[in-house]
């Protein structure tokens, strides 16, 4: 007999058919009712066991966490809470679970505790929902780009360049770190290292992405990136997944249109595909917020927030306009920001981004044309000599979710800027070659996948939307 997944079972009507199901026991009530879950959805299938005809030894082994296989008759349920139930004919224990030792008790656990048992947290309702939504979003990203004929490009994980020049790098080496080979001057001799030069884990696939866009026109990457972020925040991971499209012939406006379309498309997809999970997560968030004081609670529920984001056009504002708004805000005047906004040119902190989105515009915002001093070397210089064609998309509760720009395609301007910023032009000869051979206006952006999953699931800590988070002092599992 072929196993049927519980999601499918729950969608059929109980018409006395014999079926086979397998899964993990969530609870076992009165030696009679098993709530069985197989991860296909959050709802459990109720299995009715006849304790008179079931051996005592078997009954004892039906414990929370145990894995079982059941053949039974699917019938319409008389009880409340479910439409069908399975009357057990034969039950086999596939894997025991010692109820005394199993860390997941059928009660509410804190998210912090569940992080410590991340290997088991998939078996809770919250994480079941979160990771099914994550899966739907990942699929939707590919679907969106494939429907537009973008080429999915695998950019390298090991790299010898630091795309951002930010220096938050994880080094890659096969040296014995305690005792690396040295040159005559006593410096580490990277010529003898595996790649013959210093290497690191990639912080972004953008530079390589640009190379491919100069042949395929439209490409995207979707892969892991690594940053030795020292900041221990709820929005930063040391290992995260990024989506980086790069488009030839796109200016900044085309770039913003694409990013907005992408976000709306994937949110809509997840919303439709995982409606029950998102309902559940919306309810979860409501419960969580009840613990908070009234003023800290969000005005909108998760579902309302998603709808709101889909139904409104993102507000497009220049950095200069945003600084004026922030400077004149009551928040700034009453010194409620940790970093007060006093002049043009300062970098925005997440408190400012969130003020613009949550308090001022009350919808997603795209900030454009930042001062060149606070942005990367490859962003296209505007005619004013002060700003670059950058665009960041800011989301409620998240802050920056997308960072992008039109790229500087003019060789001379690019080289000058690199020199000003101490970016080695010799090492990036291959990048500069694209500006020598058939350069064109082009644009791209990076979407942090976990920040997107945070937004759609309404979770508040980025550690809860990636299966096994890597953060400072934490690399368990
Ligand atoms: P932030 O200011 O929030 O640190 P950033 O300016 O460093 O972001 P970019 O270099 O533009 O970010 O990276 C593109 C996108 O990748 C960001 O918009 C964000 O969604 C995501 N991102 C960046 N750093 C991290 C991180 N450490 N963990 C998870 N996502 C990240
Ligand atoms: Mn950063």
Q: In this predicted structure, what is the pLDDT of residue 447?
A: 98
Tokens of 469: 């988070």
pTM for the model: 0.96
Sign of the CA dihedral running 52, 57, 58, 60: positive
In this structure, which ligand is nearest to the CA of 446? 1
- For residue 378, what are the contacts with CB-CB under 8 A and spacing of at least 6? 206, 207, 405, 407, 408, 414
Give residue 174 CA to ligand 2 midpoint distance, Å: 28
Pocket test for ligand 1, best of 167, 224, 376, 446 (most atoms within 8 A of CB): 446
**Residue 364 C-alpha to ligand 2 middle, in angstroms?**
20
Contact 9, 79 (CB under 8 A): no
Give burial (CB, 10 Å; 0-12/13-18/19+) of 382: middle
Strands (E), 262-358: 315-318
Taking the centre of ligand 1 as the mean of its atom positions, its distance from the CA of residue 41, in whole angstroms, is: 31
CA of 361 to the centre of ligand 2 (A): 24
> 203 C-alpha to center of ligand 2: Å?
10
E strand or H helix at 212: helix 206-216
Residues with CB under 6 A from ligand 1: 164, 227, 229, 236-237, 240, 242, 400-403, 446, 448, 450-451
Q: Which of 403, 463, 474 gets mutated to test ligand 1 (max ligand atoms within 8 A of its CB)?
A: 403
- Which atom of ligand 1 lies closest to the CA of 399? 3
Rounded to the nearest angstrom, the distance between the alpha carbon of 231 and the centre of ligand 1 is 12
**Quick one: tokens of 319?**
């950095």
Ligand nearest to the CA of 235: 1
Residues 250 and 214: beta-carbon distance below 8 Å: no
Question: Which of the ligands is closest to the CA of residue 228?
Answer: 1
Contacting residues for 429 by C-beta, under 8 A, at least 6 apart: none
Per-residue pLDDT of the chain (477 residues; tens, 9 = 90+): 999 999 999 998 877 899 999 999 999 999 999 999 999 999 999 999 999 999 999 999 999 999 999 999 999 988 887 889 999 999 999 999 999 999 998 889 999 999 999 999 999 999 999 999 999 999 999 999 999 999 999 999 999 976 566 668 999 999 999 999 999 999 999 999 999 999 999 999 999 999 999 999 999 999 999 999 888 899 999 999 999 999 999 999 999 999 999 999 999 999 999 999 999 999 999 999 998 888 888 888 999 999 989 999 999 999 999 999 999 999 999 999 999 999 999 999 989 999 999 899 999 999 999 999 999 999 999 999 999 999 999 999 899 999 999 999 999 999 999 999 999 899 999 999 999 999 999 999 999 999 999 999 999 999 999 999 999 999 999
Question: Are the C-beta atoms of 246 and 206 separated by less than 8 Å?
Answer: yes
- The residues that bridge with 253 in the sheet, in sequence order, are none
Domain boundary assignment for the chain:
6-106, 123-168+203-464
Torsions phi, psi for 262 (to 5 deg): -60, -50
> 231 is written with which tokens?
């900041």
Q: Helices marked H in 274-301 — which ranges?
A: 275-290
Q: Which helix (H) or strand (E) holds 269?
A: helix 252-273
Q: Are 402 and 446 spatial neighbours (Cβ–Cβ below 8 Å)?
A: yes
d(CA 341, CA 345): 10
Instruction: Give the distance (Å) from ligand 1 centre to CA of residue 30.
Output: 51
Q: Using CA positions, which residue lies closest to atom 20 of ligand 1? A: 448
**95: CA distance to ligand 1 center in Å?**
42
Nearest to 285 by CA among 81, 467, 129: 129
Handedness of CA 292, 295, 299, 305 (dihedral sign): negative
pLDDT at position 164: 63
Q: Are 238 and 262 a contacting pair, CB within 8 Å? A: no
Nearest CA residue ID for atom 24, ligand 1:
236
Superfamily holding 123-168+203-464: Bira Bifunctional Protein; Domain 2 (3.30.930.10)
> In the chain, what's the furthest Cα-to-Cα distance?
86
Q: Which residue has the CA at smallest separation from atom 25 of ligand 1?
A: 236
Start-to-end CA span in the chain (Å): 36
Q: For tokens 């368990």, name the residue.
A: 476
Q: Does domain 6-106 have CATH number 2.40.50.140?
A: yes
**CB contact set of 78 (below 8 Å; sequence gap of 6+):** none
If you take atom 1 of ligand 1, which residue's CA is the nearest one? Answer: 400
CB-neighbour burial class of residue 243 (10 A; exposed 0-12, middle 13-18, buried 19+)? buried
């Amino acid at each position: 007999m072929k196993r049927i997944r519980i999601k499918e079972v729950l969608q059929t009507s109980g018409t006395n058919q014999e079926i086979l199901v397998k899964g993990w026991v969530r609870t076992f009530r009165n030696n009679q009712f098993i709530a069985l879950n197989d991860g296909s959805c959050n709802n459990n299938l109720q299995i009715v066991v006849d304790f008179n005809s079931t051996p005592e030894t078997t009954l004892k082994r039906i414990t929370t966490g145990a894995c079982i296989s059941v053949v039974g008759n699917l019938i319409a349920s008389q009880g409340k809470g479910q439409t069908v139930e399975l009357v057990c004919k034969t039950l086999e224990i596939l894997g025991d679970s010692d109820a005394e030792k199993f860390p997941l008790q059928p009660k509410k656990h804190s998210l912090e505790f569940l992080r410590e048992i991340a290997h088991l947290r998939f078996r809770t309702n919250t994480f079941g929902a979160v990771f099914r939504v994550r899966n739907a979003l990942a699929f939707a990203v590919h679907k969106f780009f494939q429907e537009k004929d973008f080429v999915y490009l695998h950019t390298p994980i090991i790299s010898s360049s630091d795309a951002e020049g930010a220096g938050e790098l994880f080094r890659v080496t096969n040296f014995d770190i305690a005792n690396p080979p040295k040159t005559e001057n006593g410096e580490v001799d990277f010529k003898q290292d595996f790649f013959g030069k210093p290497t690191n884990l990639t912080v972004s696939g953008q530079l390589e992405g640009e190379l491919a866009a100069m042949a395929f026109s439209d490409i995207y990457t979707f892969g892991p990136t690594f940053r030795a972020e020292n900041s221990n925040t709820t929005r930063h991971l040391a290992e995260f997944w990024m989506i980086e499209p790069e488009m030839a012939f796109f200016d900044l406006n085309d770039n913003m249109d694409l990013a907005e379309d992408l976000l709306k498309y994937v949110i809509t997809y997840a919303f439709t595909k995982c409606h029950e999970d998102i309902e559940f997560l919306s309810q979860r968030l409501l419960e969580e917020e009840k613990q908070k004081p009234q003023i800290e609670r969000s005005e909108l529920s998760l579902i309302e927030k998603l709808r709101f984001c889909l139904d409104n056009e993102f507000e497009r504002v220049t950095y200069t306009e945003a600084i004026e708004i922030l400077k004149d805000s009551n928040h700034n005047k009453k010194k409620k920001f940790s970093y007060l906004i006093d002049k043009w040119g300062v970098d925005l902190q997440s408190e400012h981004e969130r003020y613009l989105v949550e308090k001022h515009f009350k919808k997603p915002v795209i900030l454009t044309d930042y001062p060149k001093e606070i942005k990367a070397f490859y962003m296209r210089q505007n005619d004013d000599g002060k700003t670059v064609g950058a665009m960041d998309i800011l989301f409620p509760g998240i802050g920056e979710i997308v960072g992008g720009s039109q790229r500087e395609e003019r060789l001379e301007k690019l080289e000058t800027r690199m020199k000003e910023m101490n970016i080695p032009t010799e090492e990036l000869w291959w990048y500069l070659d694209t500006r020598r051979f058939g350069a064109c206006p082009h644009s791209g952006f990076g979407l942090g996948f976990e920040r997107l999953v945070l937004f759609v699931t309404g979770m508040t800590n980025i550690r809860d939307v990636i299966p096994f988070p890597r953060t400072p002092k934490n690399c368990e599992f």
